[in-house]
């Protein structure tokens, strides 16, 4: 069955036109990733209008290619100039740039490129094998569970999105509210349109995304007239672009650290599965883990290969995890996956637990294009080195004006509706204001994306029974509710960690609470998992009691970066 | 008003908006069928928004005005306009692009928008004008060609272009 699906998908993908589009997509993603301030999500958002006129498989393959290219584009600029092209390449510069300054730029680039490649491949294998399993679990979900899953996704995104949890939650709720404008999907009644007929269709999701995200970001970047006129990487790096990538030496070094590669890739996949967390967090987490487990931690920051392998393999593995939850559950793991969801919706495809079984060709096309794009990325990285460095010398004002102009055409092209351009403008203004006042955009975007799913499942649940207790008594619904509560409390826990006594009990209590619904689910694997979780909670409690109710040194946290809206 | 910090003002605005939106949900028609009325979900969201805005207000009032905060611009309208001049230009020209779309169409309007915006944001010199013109023509023209001829998407032609 799997082989049949793979062959069918391969048949769809194996056209010259799709191949060319994928190469262009990877190249575009790599260039976008190399430009500081131009996030991957923005590149994917801007690609979306182009894919509208394409067949679904071709359009999705192009989007996946941009995504894979973007994930790797940041490392070139980061290693050579010290300026990470994307937030997901921040940790790469810690050792990549020092290594380049020692005259080993070719080796540093080689390690970065091949770590990205192996991270992407591990992630693609996991995506292909685990997504159908996750979809099987998703088949157990009833409307109550789905509703609570959406609430969990929103709360965890809000809690990860910034210092102020309330602002994050407000942004998420505003996103949900935006989605209610226009005719409701269940009975077609006009809502919150204030008598305006244009608003009856609601705000187009893509126009909202581009406005909030790309439009506001560009305006934010050109706010300062002086820096808008400067080159993006002016005055940094020696601009040495006559570097040859040392492939063989790099592969040998990576194989020598194969455990680090696999562990970092797994960190990336797990971070991707988690709603709201992305490459910006994964690369720092993987770097920190690599340093903690290294035999020579003091060498980190001076140009050690481990310091490049860990972040680069993890940030490329992230998207496999994010696509996993998107394809198996219909829930985007981050903003980039939300845009991918938009791309699927544009082609009238609604991801759900039955998506992989009902649309196997399309699902396996996504898997295969992820694989294919990773190989293309490897080839293009080596051939386009000069371009990566040159694009970092572009002036911000030029980039902003061109992209704004292209937005004006692209957004119209999706539905041929002029109102969408007005939506772009208004949400662009809203995005600038939100950035200015410190409201994170990621929860709002997820709110806009997930609003319909939440309402439809609420309506389905209420149509089955009006018993509201099912939202807290069904095992999966309760499971999501508990992790939503603990993830919301996490920022407060981080602030008071060690200073207040209750923080000693946060992790054990979370373990005990989560084990409850796991026990309720029944079955040997889940009961065993629940028992392990309870034992871990009890062990943590015991260790803290033994330590005299103080946090042990090895539990000290790293300075996690603020999640950015893009990766 | 002077004693309120920025967050408190935003929280009050959000509370007022919640009130207006909640009031407007009463004009949503309720059909005779279905368990969940069309107004129910927006009301739940607006209630959550009001609750969070209230908590935000309390949080910001507790924080008080930061007297030591260093502003990144001088107070006053003129300073505000100078500080935000580039985003204002972008919005103003995009608004003009939208308003003139029926006349200029997306090709002429788009090229002019990018060219003028580049020249305003980046400054004007002989060399720059040539660069800006070439870039606007190549990018907007290129995209217009991809959509019109490659993807066969009909973009607004405008009165001028249609006349030919």
State how far residue A135 is from chain B, nearest Cα, in angstroms: 28
Task: Please answer yes or no on whether A50 and B106 come within 8 Å at the CB atom.
Answer: no
Q: Which of B19, B25, B36 would best serve as a mutation to test chain A binding (most A beta carbons within 10 A)?
A: B36
Which residues of chain A are within 8 Å of residue B35 when distances are taken between CB atoms?
A: 459, 462-463, 466
What pLDDT is recorded for position A234?
A: 52
A277: Cβ contacts below 8 Å, ≥ 6 apart: A156, A160, A271, A333, A334, A563
Taking contacts as CB-CB distances below 8 angstroms, the residues of chain A near B49 are 170, 173-174, 177
- The three-class DSSP label of residue A395 is strand
User: Is A413 in contact with B91 (Cβ distance < 8 A)?
Assistant: no
**Are A405 and B113 in contact (CB < 8 Å)?**
yes
How large is the angle between the packed helices A56-81 and A16-34, nearest 10 degrees? 30
pLDDT at B148: 87
B56 touches chain A (CB under 8 A): yes
Cβ–Cβ below 8 Å for B36 and A219: no
Q: For residues A97 and A79, is the Cβ–Cβ distance under 8 A?
A: yes
Q: Is B20 on the interface with A (CB under 8 A)?
A: no
Question: What is the C-alpha separation between A538 and A442, in angstroms, rounded?
Answer: 35
Per-residue pLDDT at A310: 93
Supply A78's token pair. Answer: 């980061």
> Which alpha helices (H) appear in A348-418, and where do they start and end?
355-358, 360-383, 385-391, 396-415
Residue pLDDT, tens place only, B107-117 = 999 999 999 99
CA A38, CA A567: separation in Å to the nearest integer? 10
Is pLDDT above 60 for B123? Answer: yes
Percent of chain A's residues with pLDDT above 90: 24
CB A162 within 8 A of CB A438: yes
pLDDT at B34: 67
Q: Which chain B residues are within 8 Å of A459, Cβ to Cβ? A: 34-36, 41
d(CA A299, CA A308): 12
For residue A259, is pLDDT > 90? yes
- B contact residues 124-163, partner A, Cβ 8 Å cutoff: 132, 135-136, 139-140, 143-144, 146-147, 150-156
- Which pLDDT belongs to residue B36? 80
Q: Give the distance from CA A497 to its chain's centroid.
A: 27
> Looking at beta carbons, which residues of chain B come within 8 Å of A428?
91, 94
What is d(CA A485, CA A136) in angstroms, rounded to the nearest whole number? 26
Question: Which two structure tokens, joined as six digits, stand for B63?
Answer: 């924080």
Exposed (0-12), middle (13-18) or buried (19+): which is A529, by Cβ within 10 Å?
Answer: middle
Cβ contact (<8 Å) for B156 and A422? no
**The pLDDT of residue B50 is above 90:** yes
Q: Are A30 and A381 in contact (CB under 8 A)?
A: yes
The distance of A542 to chain B (nearest Cα, Å) reads 36
User: What is d(CA A549, CA A547) in angstroms, rounded to the nearest whole number?
Assistant: 6
Q: What is the pLDDT of residues A496-511, one digit of tens each?
A: 888 888 888 999 999 9
Cβ distance A331 to A451 under 8 Å?
no
How many helical (H) and strand (E) elements, i.e. helices and strands, does chain B have?
A: 7, 0
Nearest-angstrom CA–CA distance, A139 and A354:
7
A115 or A220: which leads in pLDDT: A115
* Chain A: closest CA distance from residue B90 (Å): 7
Please, are residues A173 and B45 in contact by the beta-carbon 8 Å criterion?
Answer: yes
Q: Tell me the backbone φ, ψ of residue A300, rounded to 5 degrees.
A: -65, 135
- Residue B13 CB burial class (10 angstroms; 0-12, 13-18, ≥19): exposed
Chain B residues in contact with A53 (beta carbon < 8 A): 147, 150-153
**pLDDT class for A293, splitting at 50, 70, 90?**
confident
Single out the residue of B95, B147, B93 nearest to residue A414, CA to CA.
B147
Cβ atoms of A86 and A336 closer than 8 Å: no
pLDDT reading at A105 higher than 70: yes
| Residue A205 and residue A345 in contact, taking contact as beta carbons nearer than 8 Å | yes
A52, B151: Cβ pair inside 8 Å?
yes
Every domain of chain B and the residues it spans = 6-70, 79-163
C-alpha A64/C-alpha A78 separation (Å) is 23
Q: Which of A75, A40, A97 is nearest to A380 (CA)?
A: A75
Which pLDDT score is estimated for A337? 82
Question: Quick one: tokens of A397?
Answer: 């004002």
Which of the residue ranges A113-117, A277-281, A423-427, B128-132 would you say has the lowest mean pLDDT?
A277-281
Q: What is the structure's pLDDT at A80? A: 77
Kindly state the DSSP code that residue A365 receives in the 8-state scheme: H
* pLDDT, average across residues A193-222: 84
pLDDT at A559 over 50: no
The verdict on B50 touching A (C-beta cutoff 8 Å) is no
Nearest to A408 among B21, B53, B106 (CB): B106
- Quick one: pLDDT band at residue A538, thresholds 50, 70, 90? very high
Binned at pLDDT 50, 70 and 90, residue A565 comes out as very low
Provide ipTM, 2 decimals. Answer: 0.90
Mean pLDDT, range A53-75, rounded to an integer: 85
Which residues 6+ apart lie within 8 Å of A42 measured at CB?
Answer: A32, A213, A214, A217, A566
CB neighbour list of residue A182: distance below 8 Å, 6 or more residues apart:
A190, A191, A192, A193, A199, A200, A201, A202, A203
Q: What is the domain partition of chain A in residue ranges?
A: 2-142+224-235+245-415, 465-555
Binary contact (B48, A190; C-beta < 8 A): no
């Amino acid at each position: 069955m799997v082989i049949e699906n793979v062959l069918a998908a391969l048949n769809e993908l194996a056209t010259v036109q799709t191949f060319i589009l994928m190469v262009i997509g990877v190249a575009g993603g790599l260039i976008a990733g190399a430009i500081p301030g131009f996030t991957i999500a923005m590149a994917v958002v801007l690609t979306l209008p182009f894919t509208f006129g394409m067949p679904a498989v071709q359009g999705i393959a192009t989007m996946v290619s941009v995504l894979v290219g973007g994930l790797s584009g940041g490392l070139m600029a980061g290693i050579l100039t010290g300026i990470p092209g994307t937030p997901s390449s921040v940790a790469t510069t810690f050792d990549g740039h020092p290594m380049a300054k020692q005259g080993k730029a070719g080796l540093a680039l080689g390690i970065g490129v091949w770590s990205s490649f192996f991270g992407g491949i591990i992630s693609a294998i996991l995506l292909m094998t685990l997504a159908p399993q996750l979809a099987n679990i998703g088949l157990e979900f009833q409307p109550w569970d789905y509703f609570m899953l959406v609430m969990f996704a929103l709360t965890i995104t809000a809690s990860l999105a910034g210092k102020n949890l309330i602002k994050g939650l407000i942004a998420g709720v505003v996103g949900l509210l935006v989605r209610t404008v226009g005719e409701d999907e269940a009975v077609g009644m006009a809502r919150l349109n204030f008598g305006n007929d244009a608003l009856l269709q609601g705000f187009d999701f893509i126009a909202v995304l581009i406005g909030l995200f790309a439009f506001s970001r560009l305006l934010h970047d050109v706010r300062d007239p002086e820096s808008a006129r400067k080159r993006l990487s002016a005055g940094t790096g020696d601009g040495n672009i006559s570097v040859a990538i040392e492939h063989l030496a790099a592969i040998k070094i990576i194989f020598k650290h194969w455990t680090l590669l696999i562990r970092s890739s797994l960190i990336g996949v797990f971070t991707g599965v988690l709603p709201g967390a992305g490459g910006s967090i994964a690369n720092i987490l993987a770097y920190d883990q690599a340093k903690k487990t290294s035999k020579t931690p003091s060498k980190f920051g001076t140009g050690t290969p481990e310091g490049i392998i860990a972040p680069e393999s993890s940030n490329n593995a992230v998207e496999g995890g994010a696509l996993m939850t998107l394809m198996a559950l219909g829930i985007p793991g981050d903003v980039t996956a939300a845009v991918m969801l938009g791309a699927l919706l544009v082609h009238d495809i609604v991801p759900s637990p039955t998506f992989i079984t009902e649309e196997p060709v399309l699902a396996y096309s996504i898997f295969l294009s992820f694989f294919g794009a990773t190989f293309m990325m490897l080839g293009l990285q080596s051939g386009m080195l000069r371009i990566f460095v040159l694009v970092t010398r572009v002036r911000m004002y030029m980039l902003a004006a061109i992209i704004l102009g292209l937005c004006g055409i692209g957004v119209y092209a999706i539905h041929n509706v002029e109102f969408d351009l007005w939506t772009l403008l208004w949400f662009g203004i809203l995005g600038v204001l939100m950035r200015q006042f410190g409201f994170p955009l990621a929860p709002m975007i997820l709110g806009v994306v997930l609003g319909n799913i939440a309402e439809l499942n609420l309506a389905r649940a209420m149509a089955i029974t009006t018993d509201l207790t099912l939202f807290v008594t069904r095992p999966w619904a309760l499971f999501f509710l508990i992790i939503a509560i603990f993830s919301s409390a996490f920022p407060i826990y981080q602030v008071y960690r060690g200073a207040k006594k209750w923080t000693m009990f946060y992790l054990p209590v979370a373990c005990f609470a989560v084990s409850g619904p796991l026990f309720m689910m029944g079955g040997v694997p889940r009961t065993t998992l629940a028992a392990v979780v309870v034992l871990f909670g009890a062990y943590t409690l015991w260790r803290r009691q033994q330590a005299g109710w103080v946090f042990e040194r090895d539990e000290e946290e790293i300075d996690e970066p603020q999640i950015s809206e893009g990766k | 008003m002077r004693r309120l910090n920025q967050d408190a003002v935003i929280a009050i605005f959000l509370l007022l908006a919640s009130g207006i939106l909640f009031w407007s949900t009463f004009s949503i028609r309720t059909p005779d069928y279905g368990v969940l009325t069309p107004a129910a979900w927006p009301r739940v969201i607006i209630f959550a928004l009001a609750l969070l805005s209230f908590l935000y207000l309390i949080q910001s009032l507790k924080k008080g005005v930061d007297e030591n905060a260093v502003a990144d611009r001088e107070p006053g309208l003129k300073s505000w306009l100078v500080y935000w001049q580039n985003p204002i230009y972008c919005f103003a020209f995009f608004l003009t692009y939208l308003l003139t779309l029926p006349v200029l169409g997306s090709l002429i309007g788009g090229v002019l928008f990018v060219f003028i915006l580049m020249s305003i944001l980046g400054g004007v010199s002989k060399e720059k004008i040539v660069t800006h013109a070439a870039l606007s023509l190549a990018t907007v023209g290129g995209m217009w060609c991809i959509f019109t001829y490659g993807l066969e998407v009909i973009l607004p032609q405008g009165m001028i272009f249609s006349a030919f």
